[in-house]
């Protein structure tokens, strides 16, 4: 990039709101495909490459430019609010992606159990008894977890990121793949019910009902609401803790407010990397 282009980009970045700054960062980071790949790309990079330094500085400069000439008593609270907002949004992205990554292995293993048991039902195992009820419970539990996370990511994207999903491409693709495979297994199961011969249906007694995908989605709605609350308030608590430690501390490029916020973001990234 030319020096003129770099200066123009710097000027744009210095005028960003907290949301705009995080969205710009998320677009850039998403080009690496996954959170893990992005975190790995930061190894050995200069401090200025780290979003936990870059984002607060961008927002602070934006606030200073917008409030040029105003009193320090008005400027400092506005800077603190901007830093808290950008930290909140950044950490929220980390939280949502971290949740998907931490649950991915368990969800994959859970799906394997669903597939293996379904194979027996598709051959000659009757759709009745304890194993059948256990399998239905497996399907309900996995569906609830996957659909709740998917809905929570959409709600957070709509509310905090102007409709953009906070998930990195790899996490979004993994979640949709698991959901698609699970729904495919459910369709096979429902087809198996329809294929039962009349004699077999009488032998089974009361015929099992098909699995209703709309019911599964509706059941996940309350869980998604609880998950959004959990992810959002986790960051709110951290911001409140920082506020108690930095009350009355002047804000500048080297201030304690910035340093505490950045250290917290470092911890968040390390947790995902591990």
- pLDDT of 236 reads 62
**Phi, psi torsion values for 14, nearest 5 degrees:** -75, -10
Based on the number of CB atoms within 10 Å of its own CB, is 137 exposed (0-12), middle (13-18) or buried (19 or more)? exposed
Query: What is the rounded end-to-end Cα distance, in angstroms, of the chain?
Result: 34
d(CA 178, CA 185): 11
- pLDDT of 142 reads 97
- pLDDT of 261 reads 44
d(CA 63, CA 16): 9
Based on the number of CB atoms within 10 Å of its own CB, is 25 exposed (0-12), middle (13-18) or buried (19 or more)? buried
**Sequential DSSP letters for 110-151:** HHHHHHHHHHHHHHT--S-HHHHHHHHHHHHHHHHHHHHHHH
Structure token pair of residue 151:
């809905």
Angle between helices 51-66 and 72-123 (to 10 degrees): 140
Cα four-point dihedral sign 114, 136, 212, 204: positive
| Stated pTM of the model | 0.80
Cβ atoms < 10 Å from Cβ of 34:
18
d(CA 119, CA 96): 33
The residue to which tokens 């700054």 are assigned: 21
- Sequential pLDDT tens for the chain (274 residues): 455 444 444 444 556 899 999 999 999 999 999 999 999 999 888 888 888 888 999 999 999 998 888 898 889 999 999 999 999 999 999 999 999 999 999 999 999 999 999 999 888 888 888 999 999 999 999 999 999 999 999 999 999 999 999 999 999 999 999 999 999 999 999 998 887 655 455 555 567 889 999 999 999 999 999 999 999 987 666 544 543 333 333 444 444 444 544 455 455 555 544 5
Return the H-helix or E-strand segment holding 213. helix 213-246
d(CA 178, CA 234): 26
**Phi, psi torsion values for 260, nearest 5 degrees:** -65, -40
Closest by Cα among 114, 117, 132, 142 to 209: 132
Cβ atoms < 10 Å from Cβ of 39:
17
CA distances from 151 to 88, 96, 145, 172, 182 (A): 20, 11, 10, 12, 16
Domain boundaries, the chain: 3-273
- pLDDT of 255 reads 46
């Amino acid at each position: 990039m030319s020096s003129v282009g770099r200066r123009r980009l710097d000027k744009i970045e210095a005028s960003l709101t907290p949301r705009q700054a995080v969205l710009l960062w998320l677009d850039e980071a998403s080009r690496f495909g996954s959170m893990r790949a992005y975190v790995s790309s930061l190894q050995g990079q200069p401090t200025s490459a780290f979003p936990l330094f870059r984002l607060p500085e961008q927002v602070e400069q934006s606030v200073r430019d917008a409030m040029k000439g105003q009193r320090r008593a008005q400027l400092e609270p506005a800077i603190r609010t901007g830093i808290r907002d950008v930290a909140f949004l950044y950490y929220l992205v980390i939280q949502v992606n971290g949740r998907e990554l931490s649950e991915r292995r368990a969800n994959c293993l859970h799906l394997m159990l669903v597939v293996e048991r379904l194979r027996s039902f598709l051959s000659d195992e009757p759709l009745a008894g304890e194993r059948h009820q256990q399998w239905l419970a497996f399907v309900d539990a996995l569906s609830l977890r996957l659909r709740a996370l998917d809905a929570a990511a959409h709600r957070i994207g709509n509310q905090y990121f102007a409709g953009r999903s906070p998930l990195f491409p790899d996490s979004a693709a993994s979640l949709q793949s698991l959901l698609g495979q699970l729904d495919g297994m459910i369709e096979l199961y429902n087809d198996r019910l329809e294929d039962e011969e009349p004699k077999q249906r009488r032998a089974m007694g009361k015929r099992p009902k098909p699995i209703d995908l709309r019911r599964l989605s509706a059941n996940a709605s309350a869980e998604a609401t609880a998950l959004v609350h959990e992810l959002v308030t986790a960051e709110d608590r951290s911001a409140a803790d920082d506020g108690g430690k930095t009350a009355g501390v002047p804000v500048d490029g080297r201030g304690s407010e910035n340093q505490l916020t950045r250290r917290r973001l470092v911890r968040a990234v390390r947790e995902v990397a591990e």
